[in-house]
Amino acid sequence: MKHHRLLARCAIAATTLFAALSTAWAADKPNVVILATGGTIAGAGADASKSATYQAAKVPVDKLIAGLPTLSAVAQVRGEQVFQIASESFTNEHLLTLGKRVAQLLKQSDVDGVVVTHGTDTLEETAYFLNLVIHSDKPVVVVGSMRPGTAMSADGMLNLFNAVNVAASQDAHGKGVLVTMNDEINSGRDVSKMINIKTEAFKSPWGPLGMVVEGKNYWFRLPAKRHTINSEFDIEKIETLPAVDIAYGHGNVSDTAYRAFAGQGAKAIIHTGTGNGSVSNRVVPALRELRSQGVQIIRSSHVNAGGFVLRNAEQPDDQYDWVVAHDLNPQKARILAAVALTKTQDSKELQRIFWEY
């Protein structure tokens, strides 16, 4: 009997010690919050052989976390379901709600980093928006997947593990908002979805910032443009975003879309030109007219891998009082224009902002 009581006491003591050690061990881990918004990374399909046929935004964040128990080896992780939508349905209001929640969390002493799970269709827009308006040097990592979790060779779990690993890392501080996909760490400012059926879909024309290999970050370059803590924009001071629309240039293009957007209240129009942001002679008169009415005209390019628009090349931007988008693609130019217009209506100031961000 004494032997049994002794064994029982030893078992209780061991359990208590293990619990204390576990608590102490967990306290040493960084605290990472996963904000879930839906998308393919939360998608599910009926057939494991189908990687492109599925329903997005089906799996809640608690199940995503529960399905990846190795996260506990990297950080103390908790999740919040901010939205549960496919990212093509993201609006300016979604951006503002998400941005404000990210900012709130990063102010907390018990939050060391934030991960945002996101659909890939507009992931690059959200990442760039956060890069512009979040005033913190703590890591913010946006992540998605190209295949739902039900597909063979699904990429979401490794992408999420890498995202948490980066968000929990001291060496990720001060590098702006990041995107971890396919083992690469890209700047939210540069990266774009280049193809829709491969796991290596997200690329930067200027190359990744680094890689994540077996839980270790390897860095190769730093972002050169202004971001986060050095940005003049602050999510806490932005309540609405002005309407900015994108019109696509092509052979035989007309001015119909430009006039329609302006008629619906667009404060700026991103012209998605061919090559160096070229503008058809059929469209130039309408754009000059709209600019005289106060609509900002911003020339960008639909060249996928690094459309670089030079000022006063192709068009006399100084004469027409137009702005060029520098190397930003049309969708990122829309984000920057909307954010910038919350502070200025001056085209020269807008051009400065496009050079700096």
Show which residues are catalytic.
40, 120
Query: Cα separations (Å) of 211 from 41, 76, 163?
Result: 20, 22, 11
Contact 67, 83 (CB under 8 A): no
CA gap 353, 226 in Å, rounded: 9
Known binding residue 153? Answer is no
CB 69 within 8 A of CB 157: no
Instruction: Estimate the crossing angle of helix 123-133 against helix 92-106, to 10 degrees.
Output: 50
* 286, 290, 291, 297: CA torsion to nearest 10: -80
155: annotated binding-site residue? Answer: no
Distance, in Å, from the CA atom of 184 to the CA atom of 26, rounded to the nearest integer, reads 27
Non-local CB neighbours of 92 within 8 Å, separated by 6+ positions: 240, 241, 338
121 belongs to an annotated ligand binding site: yes
* Bind-site residues: 87, 120-121
Which residues define the annotated binding site for substrate? 87, 120-121
